[in-house]
Chains A and B, each alone.
Chain A
Amino acid sequence: MPDGGTLPLVRLSALKRHFDVSPPWLVRALEGKPRQIVQAVDGIDIEIAKGETFSLVGESGCGKSTVARLVVGLYPPTAGKIEFDGNDMSQSRGRAEMAALRRRMQMIFQDPFASLNPRWRVFDIVAEPIRAFGLAKDAADLEQRVGDLLRQVRLTPADGRKFPHEFSGGQRQRISIARALASQPEFLVCDEPTSALDVSVQAQILNLMMDLQRRFGLTYLFISHNLAVVFHISTRVGVMYLGRLVEVAPTDTLFRRPKHPYTRMLLDTIPDLDMTGRQRAPVAGEVPSPIDPPTGCAFHPRCPFANERCSRERPKPVESEGGTVACHAIEEGRLPVEERSYAVRG
């Protein structure tokens, strides 16, 4: 939790994003079908403090990537507010002012094979944000900056003359990081930056990102479905389910004393080498369709602790051990806290 005194760098309040996936109106009219709306993000509140790494985890289709895209402005929100350093991002402002805000946040994408323009040389790819924001004084300064950026991600300035296809996945992801750092941002949104990479390369990229964070005081919003990666890099973790946040907690607390039944279910999927012999509940069922989410708590059809209230009333997030949990069973004290061993080994 960000301490009360300082303003969070990023604050999302009651953020919603719905997508209209209806068939064309002619088809709808002929078949008498209603509009179909996917509630990809359905009202989430997050505060991210300066210098921390906030991770969002959840199964595919839970809306975590949509949050990432909302934050950097690739989608406009349907409802709710995104504040960056106290500035409401939905307010219309002048070009220069908007550019000044955009410069301070950048994004690292999932697929290093799609995120670099195949027709551009690496130098131009990395130089693009510098040129777009007019950060370099002259050509020599630009060359200097791009060279420095490439060195920071452990490539050489000579690599700038090559094309993206001449690099491996890990190297491309480092080019992608160099491009994201080019505008000297404070806040980086990382959308599954390691999930397209080999395990050995994943660690390398994560360590590089943590190293850069220490050096430049970066703040990360880290999106992942890989709990091991999240445990490694995060200060706080938010667990998403069907467009809603079910639990937010500091990393250690979340992995050692998970509260929400969904968090427990996710943690049970991590193989553990200690062979404690503890009974695990396998992840049962599938994520329901976000077009027609269950009433009440979205998790209740899969939840072993659900009762009648859960299917009727949507749980509100309540404070718990430095985080929040949205669960009736926890709120009513029906579900005792369980200790897990995962964090101890980390």
Chain B
Amino acid sequence: MRRLFLILRREYLAYLLTPGFLVALLVLPLVMAASAFLPTFLSRQAPAPKVVIVDLTSLGPRGPGPFVEARILKGQARNLPQDRPAVLAVAPASVAAARTPTEAGERIQDFYRTPEAGERPPVFLVLGGTAEALDARLWTPRARLVDLSGTLEDALNDWSRNARLQALGLTAAQVESVTTAGVDLATYSPQSRSGKVTVTDRLPQLAAIGVSYLLVTLILVGSGMILTSVVEEKSSRVIEVLVTSAHPAELLVGKVLGVFCLFLTALGAIAGVGVVVAGQLPAGMVQDAANAVFGKGLLGWAALFLAFGFLLYGSIFAGIAAFCETPREAQSLATPMSVLTLVPLLLVISAVQAPDSPVIRIAALFPPFTPFLMLLRIAEGAPAWEVATGIALMAATTAGALWVGVQAYRTGALSQGPSNLWAILRRSLGRQA
């Protein structure tokens, strides 16, 4: 244990004390804060989109143009990317004089080419046709992924529905009553403390998904660190000194846990930011969230599955790395393994829709998937036998992976020359311990 701790500590400090990690540790909370607040900030900085409505329908004040105008004036028409109410602009004289939507389109194109259009030309909503067959065209200076079309289409659909309801003889008040009618469906569950299901009750599932993503990130990032560390030790021959000073299992587990502790440090920094953010939330919400995470032992389970999952995959990566002479060689061998870790993640995404499906229940019992899926199953109230079986199989497989990793590490640490995956397995498993 003493040697394992020393190796863990060295590995941990070797990364922790690098300027890169320290800078990353400081920058990470800033990046998280920026990712939370930047979209809103940018949205507030952006100017409101300008809209010109050209109504050629001859329907007068009850036409679609005035209806959409009213929506915009009431601030009910929002544009997604900018999250700002659109503002109305007056149509240029040339466009306003158009008689058909096609003619209006030609004049709008001419207008966009004139200096009068300015740096921020407006979008044009050109409306023609009849009440029964409305011809609606949106002209924008640039084609964009997200624009006002969805918002304006919703407004036009509302106008069209209202017009038809009024044609059927409904009064304006009746139309208003029909369009605002709706039902608020409340969800209740015996598992919910208050009976009514709230976001807090769904936190365990969210946490389970979060842990799965965290584990994939940990494996993808951590495996790279383990690979680099082992290859560096091998190329500098440190590994020869180490294997004569400690048992290969101590070296391998110490190395993997060292990287794991480093990851926990980064998580601690993120948690610190979380605590600061939680301080800004209403007290009741914080209490509910804390109960959801700590109350059901979710944090303990999450830690267990993270540790087992990383040890399982980390020992395999370390064993593979021991056969490689260069980081590039190690990376090419480890890439298929990294890609395989995405398979459980895909299952997690499916499991959110149907956590009780037989496929998910069975997959959660098998070790490559257990660290990713069992937490979700626990959050769903999986029976004790299922959890116990999953953990027992995971522990046994992790021990097996550790054994294979140690054999590979011991054999590979002293080998030289090009690596061959089949040779690795054959030599590792055939070697006398």
> Do A and B bind?
no
